[in-house]
């Protein structure tokens, strides 16, 4: 099934209203295109949950900082359409910058500062304002829906969840598990930037997460012990430069004084010229002592 290609806000709203009148529930998968199996898993989850699946493709300039890869970000609409068709996406929304922002770059910004200023936000100060602003725009265009996001961008997911709650948007946010390559590397459009040697080295992020998880399951409850274990793994790979490795409360993104209940391991590293991120959740049951 070839998805219906829509490029204007008015047409998208009209088509979704028509489908809602027929009793359809709407599932939205926002993307920046250059789709891979990770996006496909979100589309599949949306199809299993909702009657109509709409995916958006929009390379958002607001979330790219100075010197980042906006101009070189991979784009291939024909390939994306074929992948979306294979996942039975009903609607592919592909707006232009002018269509989304007819008055020029938006003057209104959405910010969740306590969640957006740390970790990725510390390294990329304008990134999450750009993400939250465009996601809010898309959710307002689409209207009541379930929106599907990958857990690979865990901080982004936390920010979007809080934004939707704070602004009382008629949207259910559904986080879906990270899809990985056979060697554990999280699927990402940016993996296409890696050389062969860098691609092999990039698996170190998952190995570092595994090391942190092993330390926790071995009984560690002091955050710095876990952080040191993760950092040591990345620092042992010559092609990788660690940005941060940490363990946080999944709701606040703060490092807890003592690890308990559910925690999230977060990691970011530069591999060659490509910045990669990853994360995993760990549940702590009982006192190891």
- Specify the number of domains making up the chain: 2
Same domain, 14 and 101: yes
Predicted local confidence at residue 66, as pLDDT: 67
Give the pLDDT of residue 64: 85
Q: Which pLDDT does position 134 carry in this prediction?
A: 96
> Strand 261-271's sheet: what is its strand order?
240-248, 261-271, 274-284
CB 75 within 8 A of CB 59: yes
Contact 64, 130 (CB under 8 A): yes
| Any domain includes 27 | yes
What is the CB-side half-sphere exposure of residue 168 using CA atoms within 13 A? 0
Are 78 and 111 in a shared domain? yes
Q: pLDDT at position 173, please?
A: 98
Same domain, 59 and 147: yes
Rounded to whole angstroms, the Cα distance separating 26 from 186 reads 27
Domain stops at, among 115, 148, 176: 176
Residue 54 has which token pair?
A: 């709409």
Domain assignment present for 56: yes
Boundaries of domain holding 238: 189-279
CATH number at residue 60: 3.40.50.620
CA–CA separation, 191 vs 179, rounded Å? Answer: 13
Domain boundary among 155, 176, 197: 176
- Residue 289 has a pLDDT of 47
Do 167 and 196 belong to one domain? no
Q: What is the pLDDT along the chain (289 residues), one digit of tens a residue?
A: 799 999 999 999 999 999 999 999 999 999 999 999 999 999 999 999 999 999 999 998 888 876 677 877 888 999 999 999 999 999 999 999 999 999 999 999 999 999 999 999 999 999 999 999 999 999 999 999 999 999 999 999 999 999 999 999 999 999 999 999 999 999 998 999 999 999 999 999 999 999 999 999 999 999 999 999 999 999 999 999 999 999 999 999 999 999 999 999 999 999 999 999 999 999 998 654 4
Q: Tell whether 130 and 257 lie within a shared domain.
A: no
Domain CATH code at residue 218: 3.30.1300.10
pLDDT of residue 95: 97
Q: Decide if 112 is inside a domain.
A: yes
22 and 101 in a common domain: yes
The verdict on 165 and 211 lying in the same domain is no
The catalytic residues are 39
Other Cβ atoms less than 10 A from the Cβ of 183: the count is 11
Residue located via tokens 């689409």:
142
Examine the domain organization and report whether 35 and 106 are in the same domain: yes
In this structure, are 168 and 210 located in the same domain?
A: no
What is the distance between the alpha carbons of residues 260 and 269, in angstroms, rounded to a whole number?
26
- Angle, to 10 degrees, between the axis of helix 154-166 and the axis of helix 127-142? 50
Please check whether residues 115 and 251 belong to one and the same domain. Answer: no
Q: Has residue 285 been placed in a domain?
A: no
pLDDT of residue 79: 95
Domain boundary among 176, 203, 227: 176
Please check whether residue 197 lies inside any domain of the structure: yes
Does residue 46 form part of some domain?
Answer: yes
Tell me, yes or no, whether 29 and 86 share the same domain: yes
Structural tokens at position 149 = 């996001």
Residue 244 in any domain: the answer is yes
Is there a domain that residue 52 lies in? Answer: yes
How many whole angstroms separate alpha carbon 229 and alpha carbon 207?
11
* 210 lies in the same domain as 165: no
């Amino acid at each position: 099934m070839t998805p219906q290609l829509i490029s204007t806000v008015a047409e998208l709203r009209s088509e979704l209203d028509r489908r809602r009148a027929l009793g359809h529930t709407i599932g939205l998968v926002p993307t920046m295109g250059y789709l891979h199996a990770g996006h496909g898993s979100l589309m599949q989850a949306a199809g299993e949950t909702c009657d109509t699946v709409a995916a958006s493709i929009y390379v958002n300039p607001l979330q790219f900082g100075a010197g980042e890869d906006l101009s070189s970000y991979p784009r291939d609409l024909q390939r994306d359409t074929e992948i979306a068709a294979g996942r039975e996406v009903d609607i592919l929304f592909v707006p232009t910058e002018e269509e989304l922002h007819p008055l020029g770059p938006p003057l209104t910004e959405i910010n969740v500062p306590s969640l957006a200023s740390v970790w990725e936000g510390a390294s990329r100060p304008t990134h999450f304002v750009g993400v939250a602003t465009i996601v809010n725009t898309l959710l307002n265009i689409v209207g009541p829906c379930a929106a599907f996001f990958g857990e690979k961008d865990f901080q982004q997911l936390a920010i979007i969840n809080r934004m939707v709650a704070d602004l009382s948007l008629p949207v259910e946010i559904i986080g879906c598990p990270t899809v990985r390559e056979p060697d554990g590397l999280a699927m990402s459009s940016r993996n296409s930037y890696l050389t062969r040697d860098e691609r092999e080295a990039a698996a170190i992020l998952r190995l570092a997460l595994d090391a942190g998880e092993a330390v926790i399951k071995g009984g560690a409850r002091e955050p710095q012990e876990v952080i040191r274990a993760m950092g040591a793994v990345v620092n042992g790979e010559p092609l990788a430069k660690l940005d941060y490795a940490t363990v946080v409360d999944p709701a606040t993104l703060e490092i807890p004084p003592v690890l308990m209940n559910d925690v999230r391991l977060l990691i970011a590293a530069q591999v060659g010229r490509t910045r990669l991120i990853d994360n995993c959740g760990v549940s702590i049951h009982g006192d190891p002592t």
